[in-house]
Amino acid sequence: MRYSEPFLAINDLSVGYGQSLVLSNVALDVPQNQVVCLMGRNGVGKTTLLKAIMGLLTPRSGQVRFGQSDMTRWAPHKRAKAGFGYVPQGRHIFPYLTVNENLLMGLEAFPEKKGKPEAIERMYSLFPALKINPRKVAGTLSGGQQQQLALARALIRRPALLLLDEPTEGIQPSIVQEIEDLLHRLREQQETTILLVEQFLDFALGIADYCYVMEKGAIVLEGTARDLDHNLVREYVAV
């Protein structure tokens, strides 16, 4: 039983690269103000699905719906303006820009918000480590600080839907805990709906309301974080 009508609905989505089919008839719902986690081993299609949702890949068939809108053929910038935020695997910050300049890039597509000091200050309150030296070149930050910067850049414009791809990858435990605390806070304050791709099972099950498990480009298991057989999930996630 799911929580409510889906805020994001993926229906029978098939996506590939060239002649290779990666996702086959994937169906997935993300209710509003919930955290939904997508799990599975490397190479099963999790990142491909996020890229298709963000519009970076064009589906061969199927549908992406956001609220009442069919976004299947929308360009990425249009999805961003509609409220999508995306933190890709590997962070993809701008390494030669400062921390502050990276945050401003998060507002680049929104000229009406660009330069508003309260937006920047809000991110520094959420991520105090970034405030210590806002003029520091982002490429010199630690891995954990870079992940926080990538999150802040996505959150600065208050996205309605946040897509997070492996936010704990290569991050020290203290930063993982800070990210988990932040996601709990965002959910409790109903600030954003979150679709999380994650392999760190304890982190995923600790934050998610509902979970999907992928294998070979298809959903093979789903359920609430509480009701899922955690041992079975581990079998699908284990390398």
Instruction: Give the pLDDT score at 189.
Output: 84
| 67 & 178 share domain | yes
| 8 & 75 share domain | yes
Contacts of 177 (CB under 8 A, 6+ apart): none
Nearest to 94 by CA among 146, 165, 172: 146
CA–CA gap between residue 119 and residue 107 (Å, rounded): 9
Instruction: Give the pLDDT score at 109.
Output: 65
Run of H or E including 8: strand 6-17
Coil, helix or strand at residue 75? coil
Digit-coded pLDDT (tens) for 133-166: 889 999 999 889 999 999 999 999 899 999 999 9
Tell me, rounded to whole angstroms, the distance of Cα 5 from its chain centroid.
20
CA–CA gap between residue 161 and residue 33 (Å, rounded): 9
Digit-coded pLDDT (tens) for 191-232: 899 999 998 888 999 999 999 999 999 999 999 988 998 889
| 75 & 184 share domain | yes
| 61 & 171 share domain | yes
Pairing verdict, β 20-31 and 35-39: unpaired
Q: Is residue 89 part of a domain?
A: no
Q: What are phi and psi of 59, to 5 degrees?
A: -65, 150
| 70 & 166 share domain | yes
| 67 & 180 share domain | yes
Q: Is residue 75 part of a domain?
A: yes
Over its C-alpha atoms, the chain yields an Rg (Å, rounded) of 17
pLDDT at 112 over 70: no
**Containing structural domain, residue 134:** 94-158
| 107 & 202 share domain | no
Q: Is residue 210 part of a domain?
A: yes
Residue 1: band (very low, low, confident or very high) from pLDDT cuts 50, 70, 90: very low
Q: Which residues pair with 222 in a beta bridge?
A: 212
Task: Identify the domain boundary among 158, 185, 206.
Answer: 158
Query: Residue 216 is part of a domain; what is its CATH number?
Result: 3.40.50.300
Task: Identify the domain boundary among 158, 173, 203.
Answer: 158
Residue 81 tokens read as 């303006």
Instruction: Give the pLDDT score at 5.
Output: 61
| 55 & 165 share domain | yes
Instruction: Give the pLDDT score at 147.
Output: 92
The residue among 108 and 85 whose pLDDT is bigger is: 85
Helix ranges restricted to H, the chain: 46-54, 76-82, 99-105, 117-126, 128-131, 143-155, 173-188, 201-207, 230-237
CA–CA gap between residue 76 and residue 57 (Å, rounded): 9
Task: Identify the domain boundary among 102, 129, 158.
Answer: 158
